[in-house]
Amino acid sequence: MPVVNPADDPHLQDIDAANNLIELFLKRADEKGETPFLGRKQDGEWRTQSWREVADQVCLLAESLRRIGLKDGERVALVSENRPEWCIADLAIMAAGCISVPTYTTNTQRDHAHILDNSGARAVIVSNEKLLGPLVGAIGQTGIVDHVIGIEDLHRKQAGSFEYHGWDALIQGDAAAARKAVDERISHISRDDTACLIYTSGTGGAPRGVKQHHGSILCNVAGAAEILITDFGITDERFLSFLPLSHAYEHTGGQYLPISVGAEIYYSEGLEKLASNIEEVRPTIMVVVPRLFEVLRTRIMKQVEKQGKVANFLMDKALKIADHATEGKTRTRHKPLNFLVEKTLRPKIRQKFGGRVKAMVSGGAPLNPEVGNFFEAMGLTMLQGYGQTEAGPVISCNRPRVGLKMDTVGPPMRGVEIRIAEDGEILCRGELVMHGYWRNDAETARTIQDGWLHTGDIGHLDDKGRIVITDRKKDMIVNDKGDNVAPQKIEGMLTLQPEVAQAMVSGDKRPYVVGLIVPDAEWALEWSRANGEKFDMKALQDLPAFKKAVREAVDRTNTDLSVIEKVRKFEFADEAFTIENEEMTPSMKIRRHKIRDRYRERIDGMY
């Protein structure tokens, strides 16, 4: 492919010139007109809405939000699964001059209450009756939501003081007049204005609202688009949206990146149908978390194993060729074999991904280099990105022109400055950096110093300027799907139970959270007396009835935790965490690395 000067590309010029996300979207809608934009499977068929149709609905909904009383800068929460209406609602909230507050569909009433209260949301857009359930109590608890908009018809249309509105009624009217009003309003919205609040859990446990401004997301989108332009070329791109749009990674990479390059977005039906959706939709770009790639890798390897000796021989050779390529070794004797693999095995694998994939981008959590090399061996280009919500969220990404090395997360993206602090922490600066945490100046001051975002990750730059992450400065758990989980929050809730004296939870790069528990000695003594057992802590821990009693305490805690935070399994620690055994600091904080090292086998056994 010829070298492309990104400065000459109209897509990138438009992104750089845009004052806000809505302006960029409407420009693309005007250009694309009646061509397909958003796709969803309904009644067994993929159905699409055109750019023109979506733009009309965005403008009409924006004007309806103003008509019901919402004003500039007011917050609107969005609770929905991935679907075309999610994109329309997010754009419409911003087009109305308001701030979008995406929230997870897995949130509990407690989570919703915190976000509604902290953001001061005056309105909520919710997709269906099921998701309204936890919201109703949170709305009643906070008493600040005036309007609830149901994408689908909601039976509980009145609870407390809020007013109910149906989606269909709000997207009716004079589209031309609505567009004119939106154009006038967004002419006053700048790149520095807040576009959305993305809530992410901090070390203190309570989710913090990251103030992502229009420029932050536009900067991110420009960096990603520049990689597409120079390394792959932009044609008729198609994205398959799978990750939750409330996650900053999908919000930017799976929604605003495709908007910026005039691509189509199709919404997956869910994990169980993802493989068939990929074959049907035939995406060109996939934005996914490592866990999905691990599942797909396992599935492909099992399928190849069933195809006999020849297929297995070819896969083994393909993996060895890829390993050598990663090490920078190219051998002439590999060429005939590589040609054979390219003509036989790889086309079949690529077809399982629709046959048009240019690149699969892994982010949200660390990717095992072995998984990345596997897909490279199968002829599918795998890119690993790195970032965090506070940075829009993408800071860096691997790219073919620099050289794909799966134990790095690539060079910084366009418009991103990186510095390594004296203690090895990765610092980041640029338009992509958030303007702070919503209503949390103290945490903002700790995180952003002299314009540099302190990422909390330890690493260095290699000889080609690629970021190599070696450790996490933060204690944050990032599970294998890229979700952030604050361990202190869960541990604090567990130790509120009378049965639990101490707890440490784990789950980094894992599918779920597990815990190590130190039972409360006084409670254990009472339990042993009540059950006619001798009080011996180690002996008690071997009793199924004792473990069941502690399990009940864990289950009680789980009722107030979201799906990703729930403690699925637990084991007992051999003794209390103390300063003497070096499992606590003098300030009485647990030393996670010490405890993990001691109980590594036990923790691994819970997976």
Q: What are the C-alpha distances in Å from 371 to residues 277, 424, 551, 604?
A: 22, 27, 35, 20
Name the percent of the chain lying above pLDDT 70. 95
299-313, 461-475, 501-515: range with highest mean pLDDT: 501-515
Residue 275 has pLDDT above 90, yes or no: no
HSE, side-chain direction, 13 A CA sphere, residue 148: 32
SS3 assignment, position 572: strand
Parallel/antiparallel/unpaired status of strands 500-506 and 513-519: antiparallel
User: Residue 586 has what pLDDT?
Assistant: 53
Enumerate the β-bridge partners of residue 40.
Answer: 47, 267
**In whole angstroms, what is the distance from residue 158 CA to residue 68 CA?**
16
Mean predicted confidence (pLDDT) in 460-471: 90
User: Residue 327 has what pLDDT?
Assistant: 61
Here the contacts of 40-49 (C-beta below 8 Å, separation 24 or greater) are: 40/83, 40/84, 40/266, 40/267, 41/267, 41/269, 41/277, 41/280, 46/266, 46/280, 46/281, 48/264, 49/84
Residue 159 has pLDDT above 60, yes or no: no
Could you tell me which residue, 487 or 213, shows the higher pLDDT?
213
What is the 8-class DSSP label of residue 561?
S
Predicted confidence band at 313 (pLDDT cuts at 50, 70, 90)? confident
- Among 500, 601, 515, residue whose Cα is nearest residue 565: 515
Mean predicted confidence (pLDDT) in 221-228: 96
Residue 588 has pLDDT above 70, yes or no: no
**In whole angstroms, what is the distance from residue 459 CA to residue 408 CA?**
10
Parallel/antiparallel/unpaired status of strands 194-201 and 163-166: unpaired
Q: Which residues contact 348 (CB under 8 A, 6 or more apart)?
A: none
Contact call for residues 188 and 472 (beta carbons, < 8 A): no
SS3 assignment, position 74: coil
User: Residue 585 has what pLDDT?
Assistant: 66
Predicted confidence band at 450 (pLDDT cuts at 50, 70, 90)? very high
Predicted confidence band at 61 (pLDDT cuts at 50, 70, 90)? very high
Q: What are the C-alpha distances in Å from 385 to residues 183, 221, 244, 283, 287?
A: 35, 13, 17, 19, 10
Preceding amide of 393 cis, omega within 30: yes
Predicted confidence band at 202 (pLDDT cuts at 50, 70, 90)? very low
User: Residue 150 has what pLDDT?
Assistant: 96
Q: Which residues contact 328 (CB under 8 A, 6 or more apart)?
A: none
Name the percent of the chain lying above pLDDT 90. 67
Could you tell me which residue, 216 or 485, shows the higher pLDDT?
216
User: Residue 470 has what pLDDT?
Assistant: 78
Could you tell me which residue, 277 or 492, shows the higher pLDDT?
277
Mean predicted confidence (pLDDT) in 570-597: 85
Structure tokens at 320: 């060895």
User: Residue 317 has what pLDDT?
Assistant: 82
Residue 204 has pLDDT above 80, yes or no: no
Name the H helices within 5-128. Answer: 10-17, 21-32, 51-67, 84-95, 109-119
Enumerate the β-bridge partners of residue 209.
Answer: 199
Could you tell me which residue, 17 or 486, shows the higher pLDDT?
17
Question: Worst-scoring range by mean pLDDT, 74-78, 240-244, 273-277, 483-487?
Answer: 483-487
Q: Which residues contact 371 (CB under 8 A, 6 or more apart)?
A: 290, 293, 294, 297
Q: Going along 216-328, which residue ranges are E strands? A: 238-241, 264-267, 285-288
Length of the chain counted residue by residue? 607
Structure tokens at 470: 């070696």
Residue 528 has pLDDT above 80, yes or no: yes
What digits encode the pLDDT tens for the residues 44-54?
999 999 999 99
What digits encode the pLDDT tens for the residues 553-567?
999 999 999 999 999
User: Residue 366 has what pLDDT?
Assistant: 75
User: Residue 284 has what pLDDT?
Assistant: 96
Backbone torsions φ then ψ of 58, nearest 5 degrees: -60, -50
**In whole angstroms, what is the distance from residue 91 CA to residue 295 CA?**
33
Contact call for residues 83 and 57 (beta carbons, < 8 A): no
**In whole angstroms, what is the distance from residue 607 CA to residue 528 CA?**
30
- List domains and CATH numbers for the chain: 53-189 (3.40.50.980), 486-604 (3.30.300.30)
Question: What count of other Cβ atoms lies within 10 Å of the Cβ of residue 454?
Answer: 17
User: Residue 148 has what pLDDT?
Assistant: 96
Mean predicted confidence (pLDDT) in 161-167: 90
Of the chain, the end-to-end C-alpha distance in Å amounts to 45
What digits encode the pLDDT tens for the residues 168-182?
999 999 999 999 999
Backbone torsions φ then ψ of 22, nearest 5 degrees: -70, -40
User: Residue 24 has what pLDDT?
Assistant: 98
**In whole angstroms, what is the distance from residue 521 CA to residue 539 CA?**
13
Q: Going along 58-192, which residue ranges are E strands? A: 75-79, 99-103, 123-126, 147-150, 163-166
User: Residue 580 has what pLDDT?
Assistant: 83
pTM recorded for the entire structure = 0.82
What's the whole-number average pLDDT of the chain?
91
Q: What are the C-alpha distances in Å from 96 to residues 100, 183, 320?
A: 10, 10, 55
Residue 547 has pLDDT above 70, yes or no: yes
User: Residue 376 has what pLDDT?
Assistant: 84
- Among 322, 342, 352, 462, residue whose Cα is nearest residue 398: 462
